[in-house]
Amino acid sequence: MSEAEAAVPPHGAWRYASPDGELRPSLPEVHASVAVPQGGLWLRRLLAFAGPGYMVSVGYMDPGNWATDLAGGSQFGYTLLSVIMLSNLMAILLQSLSARLGIVTGRDLAQACRDHYPRPVNLMLWVACETAIIACDLAEVIGTAIALNLLFGIPLIGGALITALDAFLVLLLMQRGFRYLEAFVVALLMVIAGCFLVQIIAAAPPVAAVLHGFVPTTQVVTNPGMLYVAIGILGATVMPHNLYLHSSIVQTRAYPRTDEGRRDAITWATVDSTIALMLALFVNAAILILAASVFHGSGHTEVAEIGEAFELLSPLLGLGIASTLFAVALLASGLNSTVTATLAGQIVMEGFLRLRLPHWMRRLLTRGLAIIPVVVVTALYGESGTAQLLVFSQVVLSMQLPFAVIPLIRFVTDRGKMGRFVVPGWVAGLSWVVAGLIVVLNIKLLYDTVLG
């Protein structure tokens, strides 16, 4: 099957608005490059499709989420675990829609927007998404710099400059094949999960209290302070660039580009992303549980910054290696987020503008735009300024989210574009409810952050 044939969606599923009729596939260098067994054991097929979901899950446990999880646990104990679970269920739904769009149409979300919307709208969407990627990169630079500072004593400015080198790590892995990139991401995810598992076992939180925290309570809405942190958790969870990323990387699988092949691919891709996002749920819940057990339980209810948590963790937990494990997990989180931000940047630029830059140039440009504010703020305001910049990056991400969520739902609920693969009515209704909730909560988060 040629690249052009592989990129063609089902008959009648998509009307290309591109004036030149270009059918260039998303991420052409790795498109349909991962073999998928036809028939055989279900486990082999699951393993063949496993990978994109884990790469997407990285965005749900990046350094930007850590501050809100720490604040939620230290201030309110286990109560906000229900908010983490709710935000994770939203993420599972939206990522399944993103995977469906990519598999059915053969277009990633950026390409789909370019095909559907007029040029001025596309330029606005591109600017919004690029801003979100830079904001996400900002959180990664800060998180990685803080981790390097905590582990090796490297000054924050030096750590921020070192993060520019990770561009070459992504290039090296991409040259070896997409499976190597996925294996790298999964390995770091296992490091993160392992670090928190050890800390949770050492903290030994009361099981009944933890389980009760997953039960929704009206207190989240009636308590203004708790509501603010809850909105922060929701606002920092769903990342706009993940929706562009997932719609592209699911196409790296060499499934048959037939109705039956696409239906099968949707099933396995949804299973993959659901399992991976449950791992993200564990990590985010573990951060909050750790903060609730160690900080809230000992009366340290104001711990919200990563550096402060690092200093207090080992003494309060009584485990000398606890703080080191915390910083190692943070470093792994920052490195992992680099991979997904790099790919998302390439997908967005090529999809909206059809502009192809060398990967190293694209990566260094984005990373440079993120490093500059970190270096300037650190030099002027020190560590506290960096923590505030981390919060600001999440607010910027919140502002961009509607520009990805609304077009995605618009496309997958359109029978003219999706054909027989259009989502059922109940899924469409639930998706619009989730989109509305995300938009309202993010607007409130923005309003409270700017004016509060």
> What confidence category does residue 236 fall into, taking pLDDT thresholds of 50, 70 and 90?
low
Please compute the mean of the pLDDT values over residues 304-316 and round it to a whole number: 85
Structure tokens at 140: 């990664």
Per CATH, which fold does 45-451 belong to? Amino acid/polyamine transporter I (1.20.1740)
Per-residue pLDDT tens over the stretch 358-377 = 767 766 776 677 678 777 77
Structure tokens at 144: 């990685």
> So what's the pLDDT on residue 449?
62
Query: H or E segment at 207?
Result: helix 207-213
Is 452 in a helix, a strand, or coil?
coil
Please compute the mean of the pLDDT values over residues 325-330 and round it to a whole number: 93
Q: What is the CA radius of gyration of the chain?
A: 21
More confident residue, 445 or 294: 294
Return the number of other C-beta atoms located less than 10 Å from residue 248's C-beta: 29
Q: Which residue has the tokens 């030994």?
A: 204
pLDDT above 80 (res 406): yes
Return the number of other C-beta atoms located less than 10 Å from residue 369's C-beta: 15
pLDDT above 90 (res 106): yes
Q: 444, 450, 451: which is closest to 229 by C-alpha?
A: 444
Q: At what angle do helices 178-203 and 306-317 cross, to 10 degrees?
A: 50
Structure tokens at 420: 């027989």
Per-residue pLDDT tens over the stretch 68-86 = 888 889 999 999 999 999 9
Query: Which phi and psi (to 5°) does residue 253 adopt?
Result: -85, 140
The domain segmentation of the chain, as residue ranges, is 45-451
Per-residue pLDDT tens over the stretch 175-222 = 788 898 899 999 999 999 999 999 999 999 999 999 999 998 888 878
pTM score, whole prediction: 0.88
pLDDT above 50 (res 124): yes
Query: H or E segment at 253?
Result: none
Percent of the chain with pLDDT over 70: 89
Is 214 in a helix, a strand, or coil?
coil
